[in-house]
Amino acid sequence: MKNLLFLLLILLGAGWMSCSPQKPAEGTAEGTAADTTKAAESAPAEIADIKYMDIGKKLLSQFASGNIDGYMSNFADNAVYHWNNGDSIAGKAAIGDFWKKRMAGVIDSISFTNEIYLPVKVNKPQSTELPGIWLLSWYQTYAKYTTGKSMTQGMHAVMHFDANDKIDQVFQYRDNALIEAAMKK
């Protein structure tokens, strides 16, 4: 029994040692910045430059202030705006017209709080997503409508940036029932 217990302890110790991270030997190229860069490039995705977080903050600020022209200056001409209910709008001009009409005749005021941003660089798409920079954002939206009613809900938006750092895809996830209820007179 003692021999069995001793053998079990040896096996557990060997297993633990094989799972422990090994430090590269001094004088080797292992663990260098080049290896880190190579590993990041081969990863399916990685954290992207935080400048995209600043772009996301600027977008919501421009939108909340009613500066739709400023908001749209961040979009590519071929942009497509998708909603989770299956609706979409294609083209920068059409997206801008839609939001200008909403802000002029439907939304009295809008604000955003509790913003969270995660910029991601997709190196190797895993399904249908485009490679490149994506900004995932979550925020609390408070909107007062021209009906006098208001709506509060958490929303999630995912934006893809083209090679010129312009938004060419937006996917916005929201509860449309809350919006429709607030718009009813």
pLDDT tens-digit series, residues 137-147: 999 999 999 99
pLDDT tens-digit series, residues 126-165: 888 899 999 999 999 999 999 999 999 999 999 999 999 9
What domains are defined for the chain? 44-183 (3.10.450.50)
The β-bridge relationship of strands 88-90 and 75-83 is: antiparallel
Q: How far is it, in rounded angstroms, from Cα 78 to Cα 164?
A: 13
pLDDT at 1: 42
Confidence class for position 91, pLDDT limits 50, 70, 90? very high
Beta carbons within 8 Å of 139's beta carbon, 6+ residues apart: 60, 112, 113, 114, 115, 116, 154, 155, 157
Q: H/E element holding 114?
A: strand 107-122
Top pLDDT among 89 and 14 is at 89
Beta carbons within 8 Å of 34's beta carbon, 6+ residues apart: none
pLDDT tens-digit series, residues 22-70: 455 555 555 556 665 565 567 999 999 999 999 999 999 999 999 999 9
Token pair 């916005």 in the structure block, residue: 172
pLDDT at 129: 85
pLDDT at 119: 98
Query: Which pTM does this prediction carry?
Result: 0.77
pLDDT at 26: 54
Q: H/E element holding 141?
A: strand 132-145
pLDDT at 6: 40
Number of Cβ atoms within 10 Å of the Cβ of 128: 5
Q: H/E element holding 157?
A: strand 150-161
Q: How far is it, in rounded angstroms, from Cα 84 to Cα 140?
A: 17
Average pLDDT (5-31) is 46
DSSP state of 31: T
pLDDT beyond 50 at 10 = no
